Amino acid sequence: MTPISSRPSPAAPFDIVGFDLDGTLLDTSGDLAAAVNHALASVGRPALSVEAVRPMIGGGARAMLAQGMAATGGCDAATLDRLHRLLLDHYEAHIADLTRPFPGMIAALDTLAARGARIAVVTNKLEALARKLLDALGLTARFACIIGGDTMGPGNAKPSPKPIYEMLARCGGGTAAFVGDSLFDIRAGQAAGLPTIACAFGFLTQPVGELGADAVIDGYAELVPTLERFASPSR
Ligand SMILES: O=C(O)COP(=O)(O)O
Ligand SMILES: [Mg+2]
């Protein structure tokens, strides 16, 4: 009789599981809010709370800063360009001071990997910063590919499906699902024809049920069972 410990794991529910980064795999809100506040302080603006910055995250650092400036009195394009640089420099220097995986994330990735799934990141963060952050947390080796908001060139970040198609190509093709916390993620995943899962614990701009995802998870313990529900019964 085969001992339980040496039984092979059942096949993964999908060949590829793609994840958004900020608000999905990692709670980056503390370090991103600090970077926004560094930029705001440089022009005498008041600081925003982490809670106020959270819904500004998901469309890239420039869009986040533009919302932060709008919330504290507006700003012209030249100032936004200058402060964007300042924000990125500060963020890069403090990229993993406060950032942590969401509870249960590592265990869920371990389960998927043990079952043979390829795991990927598709973020609207600049690719170099996404890599630096994942390196700092010792997570890079887990991902078959890491695609950033600039990887596919200007105008091709999520909600464009192009970075999702790139993920599928780099992962070698197969069945896939996408997990995210913003409308950009759900739209990009759907436009690429993938089942989508929304994270209720993410940086939401609206009630999670309004994102239009195929399923919602309240925590990482629900991820693998939810993927299994979607997977074709023949697998
Ligand atoms: O807004 C960002 O910088 C990136 O956000 P994302 O990882 O949720 O795509
Ligand atoms: Mg996100």
Per-residue confidence in pLDDT tens, the chain, 235 aa: 445 556 667 899 999 999 999 999 999 999 999 999 999 999 999 999 999 999 999 999 999 999 999 999 999 999 999 999 999 999 999 999 999 999 999 999 999 999 999 999 999 999 999 999 999 999 999 999 999 999 999 999 999 999 999 999 999 999 999 999 999 999 999 999 999 999 999 999 999 999 999 999 999 999 999 999 988 654 4
> What does the pLDDT read at residue 235?
46
**Is residue 235 situated within a structural domain?**
no
185 is in an annotated binding site: no
- Per the structure, the complete domain to which residue 41 belongs is given by 29-93
Is 20 part of the annotated catalytic residue set? Answer: yes
Considering the domain architecture, whether residues 216 and 131 belong to the same structural domain is answered as: yes
> What does the pLDDT read at residue 20?
98
Considering the domain architecture, whether residues 48 and 70 belong to the same structural domain is answered as: yes
Considering the domain architecture, whether residues 139 and 222 belong to the same structural domain is answered as: yes
> What does the pLDDT read at residue 232?
62
32 lines ligand 1 (CB under 6 A): no
Give the CATH number, domain containing residue 80: 1.10.150
Considering the domain architecture, whether residues 113 and 74 belong to the same structural domain is answered as: no
Query: What total number of domains does the chain contain?
Result: 2
- Quick one: which ligand is closest to 199's CA? 2
Residue 130 CA, ligand 1 centroid: distance in Å: 9
Long-range CB pairs of 91-94, under 8 A, 24+ apart, other chains included: 91/31, 91/32, 91/35, 91/61, 91/129, 92/129, 92/132, 94/31, 94/34, 94/35
110 is in an annotated binding site: no
Residue 23 CA, ligand 2 centroid: distance in Å: 4
Q: What's the whole-model pTM score?
A: 0.94
Cβ neighbors of 167 (< 8 A, separation 6 or more) are 16, 18, 120, 122, 145, 147, 176
